[in-house]
Amino acid sequence: MSPDAARQPREGKVKLALVQCRAAATKDENVARTLDRIGAAAAAGADIVCLAELFAGPYPCQAEDHRRFDDAEPIPGPTSRALAEAARRHAVVVIGSLFERRAAGLYHNTAAVYDVDGTTAGIYRKMHIPDDPLYYEKFYFTPGDLGFPAFDTQRGRIAVGVCWDQWFPEAARLSALAGAQIIVYPTAIGWLPGEKAEFGPSQHDAWQTVIRSHAIANGLFVAAVNRTGVEGGLEFWGASFAADPHGNLRALAGHAGEETLLVDCDLDQIDAVRTHWPFLRDRRIDAYEGLLRRFLD
C-alpha cells in the first residue's frame, strides 16, 4: 500500500469477526484453538478477526504472582508470529492481545495488528491499567507509551483499546481523530463473587452503554470482544458486541459459551453519519484546556 493510498479512508463493506473465547489450561491449547477459529472466521467471509484480551491463557492478574511473568513473550515471539502467519495464510487482518515482555522487568498488555499479508500494521500498548479486586494489573503491566494510534490495513483503518481503556471517552476520541474507522476492544470483564445478583445487570448495561456512546460521539464502528467462562474468582460475562456509528447494536453474543460473531460494517456510513451529526466539526478545541488537568479545583 502506498503512503498516499494509506492516508485515504477505505470505502465499502468489511466483515468483522469477534472471537469470544473460554480459556483452556495451557498456552499451546489456547493458541491452537484460536488459530483454528481464525481460519473458520476467514472461511465464513471475515476480513478482520479480533481476539479477546490475553487470549493465550487464563487471565493472569487475579493475584500478584511472580510466576505468571513466565507466560510473557517478546513481540515478535512465538504467539505473535503464529498470529501473523494466520493473517497471511487466510488473508485477514488479525488483532491479538498479548502479555508482552519488552525488556527485563518491563511488561505490557499489548495488542498487535497484523495485515492480510502477515506484516505488522502496528502495536498498541494498554494505556489505562486497573488495580481492583482480582484485577491486579498494575503489578504486571507498565502503562503504554504509544498513545492512541490508528493503523492502516488493507481492510480499513483500525484503532485498538484494551479492556479498561474502553471506559475512557478521551481515548476513543483520540482514536477517531487519528482516523480510525473501527475501534476494537479486546476485553476480559466479568462479575466478582457475590456481586452478580445485586449489581450484575447494571454493570453489564453500563459497559455496553459507554461503548455504544463512543460509536455515536465519534461516528464510527466500535466492537468489544470478551472472554467467557469462570476462571478462579471471576465469571467473565461474554456478551461480545459491535455497534455502528448510530450506536445501534449490530451483533451480540450470549453471556455463556464460545461464539464467533460476524458483523458487516459499511465504512461508507461513517461519512454520512458525520455530516448529519457533525460532532467533530463543532468541537470547541479552543476551550478544552481543562481536559489536561486531573481535576478543576
Q: Are 185 and 166 in contact (CB under 8 A)?
A: yes
Q: Are 65 and 32 in contact (CB under 8 A)?
A: no
The amino acid occupying position 50 is C
Alpha-carbon distance 169 to 210, whole Å?
Answer: 8
Q: Are 183 and 220 in contact (CB under 8 A)?
A: yes
Q: φ, ψ for residue 70 (rounded to 5)?
A: -65, -20
Put the strands of the sheet holding 228-231 in their side by side order.
190-191, 234-237, 228-231
Q: Among the options 50, 163, 235, 259, which is catalytic?
A: 163
What pLDDT does 8 receive?
Answer: 57
Q: What's the chain's Rg over C-alpha atoms?
A: 18
Whether omega for the bond prior to residue 58 falls within 30 degrees of 0, making it cis, is no
Going from the first residue of the chain to its last (297 residues), give the mean pLDDT of each consecutive group of 10, the final group possibly shorter. 52 95 94 97 98 97 96 98 98 98 98 98 98 96 98 97 98 98 98 92 97 98 97 96 97 96 97 97 96 94
Does 64 participate in catalysis according to the annotation?
no
Q: Which residue has the cell 503489578?
A: 139
pTM given for the model: 0.95
What pLDDT does 10 receive?
Answer: 72
What pLDDT does 1 receive?
Answer: 46
Does 163 participate in catalysis according to the annotation?
yes
Instruction: Give me the DSSP letters along 256-281.
Output: SS-EEEEEEEETHHHHHHHHHS-TTT
Does 53 participate in catalysis according to the annotation?
yes
What pLDDT does 193 receive?
Answer: 83
What pLDDT does 197 receive?
Answer: 93
What pLDDT does 9 receive?
Answer: 63
Q: Among the options 126, 235, 259, 265, which is catalytic?
A: 126
**3-state secondary structure at position 64:** coil
131-164 residues labelled b (16+ CB within 10 A) or e (exposed): eeeebbbebbbbebeeebbbbbbbbbbbbbbbbb
What pLDDT does 11 receive?
Answer: 78
Q: Please, what are the domains in the chain?
A: 13-282 (3.60.110.10)
What pLDDT does 6 receive?
Answer: 45
Alpha-carbon distance 112 to 93, whole Å?
Answer: 10
Q: Among the options 53, 137, 231, 259, which is catalytic?
A: 53
